[in-house]
Structure formats: C-alpha cells, structure tokens
Amino acid sequence: MNPDPLLSVEKISYRPTGKTILDSISFKILENEHCVLLGRNGAGKSTLVNLIYGMIWATSGTIRLFQETYGETAIQELRKRIGIVDSSQQDQSLQKKLTVWDVILTGLFHTIGYYRDPNPEEESKAERILTDANLLSKKDQFYTTLSSGEKKKILFLRSLVSEPDLLILDEPCSSFDFSAREDFLEFLKAYHSKRNFTSLYITHRLEEIPEFYTSAVLLKEGKVLTAGPIEESFTQIHLENLYDLKLQVQKINGTWSVIPIRK
C-alpha cells in the first residue's frame, strides 16, 4: 500500500486575469522526500510556491497538504507547519536591528519582528539549533552585519526552528558567488545528515541541486514537462526541451551540470 503524499498538487491552473500562468500542474511529495522544482525564469515557479503557501488561490485544481484540502481547512494553521526560505523578501521584511538570536526566535513566533520575550522552551529550541549548526557564537551579532552566506544560513535555521513538516527553499543560492554557494550547499548537506525533513527546492540552476534530492519537477511556461525520479527527469531530451538548447548532461560526484553544445 502506497503512503499518502505529504503534498499533492492535482491539475492546478492559475489564470488571474485570463492569462494562463500555470496550466494543469500535478506532482506529489512524500514524507522525508526531497524534490527539486526546476525551471527557467518566468516558468511560474514563484507562483506555484505562493499557491502552496496559500498566499494566492488556484483558478482550478486541488492542493492537499498534510491530508488537508485547501479551501476546506484554515490555511493559517497549515502555514504554521511550513518553513520557507525566501531571502529576497525576508531580508527586506525582517525588522532592523535584530540579532541572530532574535531572527531565529521570529521563526518560532511566526512573525517578521520581535514582539515578546521567549519562554524557556523556545529559548532551548533556538539555542539547540544554533549549536547544532556551529553558529551559537553568532548569537549576539546583528543580523544586518552578517555576510550574505551567513544570512542565508540563519534564514534556513529560522525556517526549521519550529520543526516544520515541509520546508520550501525558494532560489536559496540566487545571490551567491561560487564559493558562497558551495559553502551553503555543504551546510545544507551537513544538516540533512543530522535530521530528517521534507523539502521542495526551487531553482533554475542544475549545478546547485544538493545530491540528496531524489525527485524532480521540470516546469516550462507554466506546464510540467516531466515529474518523477531525478535520474529519469534529468535526461538530455528533457533538459534540452526545458532550456531550448542542445546540451550535454553530466553527473559527476553527485553534482548535475549541463554544457551547451555550440556550433
């Protein structure tokens, strides 16, 4: 008997003003599964994330999360069980003059600011997650003084401190140079080796996908090209279709890459 998926997206379409942004999207994520959503800029990835997080509503189709159907349950309660890393928005919306400690605690409060003192249990969770990540020494440092890589690590921990049932990583390496990207991916890999979690990783770059991701959804112009095991999804045919280029596909030591075939 197959287990119920943690997340089920069934024939979701989004046409807010008559223009089709997403067209009959379907895929599933099981508990403790790691799935990558791969697509070029403008493919509809961010729209899909907003639908899953309940910020906007689908024109048609069904989303089920934690065996609850959107539209039939309180979306605010489901959001509390989702952790999201979206640094492009979170960096701008978090209150200024917060320390690293404060930022971690906002993840427990489900707020973007620091409005009350934590209780002993909350303090224990914040200290434990910083200790496990070897970042407790940063506890009293102002968040705004961190490097971009350090900020992303803290936002990642902030999203996990409440022990969410689903983690969404929305373009987590978009602003990184090569060294910062590799540092963050090693940090993510190390965390994965210590704890189980379920995640959806959104990106347009094949080479940044952590090696423990085992399934993929390829999104192009609002439609799913393919969805399933990553080895079956990242074929030359599928990726050439996705990028509209002739490509050579490689996987070396767990890292995927594509090389354009130039005339």
For 159, residues 6+ apart whose C-beta sits below 8 A from its C-beta are 83, 84, 85, 107, 167
Q: Which residues 6+ apart lie within 8 Å of 62 measured at CB?
A: 8, 10, 11, 12, 69, 70
Residue 155 pLDDT greater than 90, yes or no: no
For residue 165, which phi and psi values (nearest 5 degrees)? Answer: -85, -20
The CATH class of the 1-81+166-175+199-263 domain is: alpha beta
pLDDT of residue 89: 59
Q: Which residues contact 93 (CB under 8 A, 6 or more apart)?
A: 112
The residue written with tokens 């704890």 in the block is: 195
- The boundaries of every CATH 3.40.50.300 domain in the chain are 1-81+166-175+199-263
Q: What is the mean pLDDT of residues 3-32?
A: 94
pLDDT digits (tens, 9 = 90+) for 89-128: 566 667 678 899 988 988 888 776 767 788 889 899 999 9
| Among the ranges given (1-5, 203-207, 215-219), the one the predictor scored with the smallest mean pLDDT | 1-5
What is the reported pTM? 0.90
pLDDT per residue as tens digits for the range 59-69: 999 999 999 99
User: Which residue type is seen at 216?
Assistant: A
Contact present, 88 and 80 (Cβ < 8 Å) = no
What pLDDT does 93 receive?
63
pLDDT reported for residue 175: 78
Q: Cα torsion at 207, 209, 215, 216 (round to 10°)?
A: -60
